[in-house]
Amino acid sequence: MCHEYPSKSRPHPDLRSKSTFCLARMNKGLIHQAFVVSNAIQSDAVTLHEIAVETNIDAWTPDDYSEEMSRKDSIVLKAENGSSMIGFLAARTVPSSISGVDADIYNIAVVKRFHRQGVGSKLLTALRKELIKREVQYVWLEVRSSNSTAIHFYKNHGFEMFTSRANFYSNPSEDAVIMRLSLVEK
């Protein structure tokens, strides 16, 4: 059961240990918006592709998503609202260039009508927990240099701008900002 918090978008304390998150967003007309974050499965590949296309990220084919989910070093999470998938995140652990293990985030997408409701944040939080279990040191991602909303989102989650890559993206051609999140305890 979800409890309404008209002034704050926070889950009920009893739900924090579960993967169901209840959000109250009065300004968008959404009183109870519950969603669950879990591992994506092979049969989700077509929906992952559809969300990627709808949200205008560099979409993979359904076969690419299916293949990614079969890899042991891959983490593909989905957020669902009832029976509908509303977002996903695809990442993979990779050898560090220094030592140990890092991770790359390849895709993160949330259906537009669910933006600013905590879905992306909960996907990142779930990923972070899994990567800490896998003893990952740094999480890396690329983002279009013009995507100030995404850059701000990642900064709010502890990512730092690390460097850039000229003409990394196509359609249209654009530079990428490389961002990094440290999971190393200081």
d(CA 57, CA 67): 19
pLDDT at 185: 77
Domains of the chain, with CATH numbers?
A: 13-182 (3.40.630.30)
What pLDDT sits at residue 83?
87
Q: Which residue has the higher pLDDT, 172 or 101?
A: 101
pLDDT of residue 184: 87
Mean pLDDT of 148-165: 95
* pLDDT at residue 10 in the model: 38
Mean pLDDT of 53-73: 94
The answer for residues whose C-beta is within 8 angstroms of residue 2's C-beta and 6 or more apart is 11, 12, 15, 20, 22, 32, 34
Higher pLDDT, 25 or 139: 139
Query: What are the E-state strand segments in the chain?
Result: 20-25, 30-39, 74-81, 84-95, 101-110, 136-144, 160-169, 174-182
- Taking CA atoms, 11 is separated from 1, 28, 33, 54, 83, in Å, by 11, 18, 10, 28, 20
Give the pLDDT score at 159.
Answer: 97
Average pLDDT over residues 50-63: 93
For the stretch 21-41, pLDDT in tens is 333 333 344 434 588 999 999
pLDDT of 180 higher than 50:
yes
As a three-state string, the secondary structure of 20-59 is: EEEEEEHHHCEEEEEEEEEECCHHHHHHHHHHHHHCCCCC
Q: What's the average model confidence in pLDDT over 161-175?
A: 91
Q: Which of the four pLDDT bands, split at 50, 70 and 90, describes residue 58?
A: confident
Q: Collapsing DSSP states into helix, strand and coil, what is residue 155?
A: helix
